[in-house]
Amino acid sequence: MPADDIDWRRPLFKVILIGEAGVGKSSLFLRIKDNVFIRGLQPTVGIESCVKALYVEDERVSLAIWDTAGVEKFKTMTRNYYRNTHAALLVYDVNNPASLQYLTKWVSDVMDFAPNALRFVLGNKCDLERNVITDSTENFRYAHNCECVLPVSAKTGEGIDNALNVVATKLMDTYKTPLFYESLYNSTVEITKHQPRQRGRPPRECCQTI
């Protein structure tokens, strides 16, 4: 979405894609941005971003999606882009158990540089046979205080709209009206948290585990 079409009075949340090279972050980003899949897409070197608008309970919400380079030698550079992050999408390859294990160091970065960001686990390539067992993803989720685990496929587009809606809904549940704008990059909005839920109120079920 062009910057001129963004309603800056509406909530704008910064969301980053992180994970090891080869898990399909850039393919996910391209699917979100242009709804296309390019076989043999080269790894991202640097940063790309786009804005995805959607509705949560009839309220228009914008997600500024940032695709960060997963190659290890560029990791120091990408740390500068954690600032003002509201949600981190931790991407692994459901066919590669090692990619889930490597997410531990990325979680550590999120906790260091964006400690207030919500964390979501995305299992990419769900259109293929899965080699990562459900217990492993659930253990990872609980160990690192992630909101939920969501299956997606950059190749087919499966699960991506659902994942973005889950992320947007969780963000709107957690945050309220923006207080001020910050003019760095695309005017990321600073959001404040709601008061804690009342005791005894059941949490909203919205996530699918893989």
Query: Taking CA 138 as the corner, what is the angle to CA 136 and CA 144, rounded to the nearest 5 degrees?
Result: 100
For residues 207 and 148, give the distance between their C-alpha atoms in angstroms, rounded to a whole number: 6
Please check whether residue 43 is in contact with residue 93, taking contact to mean a CB–CB distance below 8 angstroms.
no
Please check whether residue 21 is in contact with residue 43, taking contact to mean a CB–CB distance below 8 angstroms.
yes
Q: Is the full-model pTM beyond 0.85?
A: no
For residue 205, what is the DSSP state?
P
pLDDT digits (tens), the chain, 210 positions: 454 455 555 689 999 999 988 899 989 999 999 999 887 666 666 678 899 999 998 889 999 999 876 666 666 667 777 889 999 999 999 999 999 999 999 999 999 999 999 999 999 999 998 899 989 999 999 999 999 999 999 999 999 999 999 999 999 988 754 443 333 334 444 443 333 344 444 444 455 545
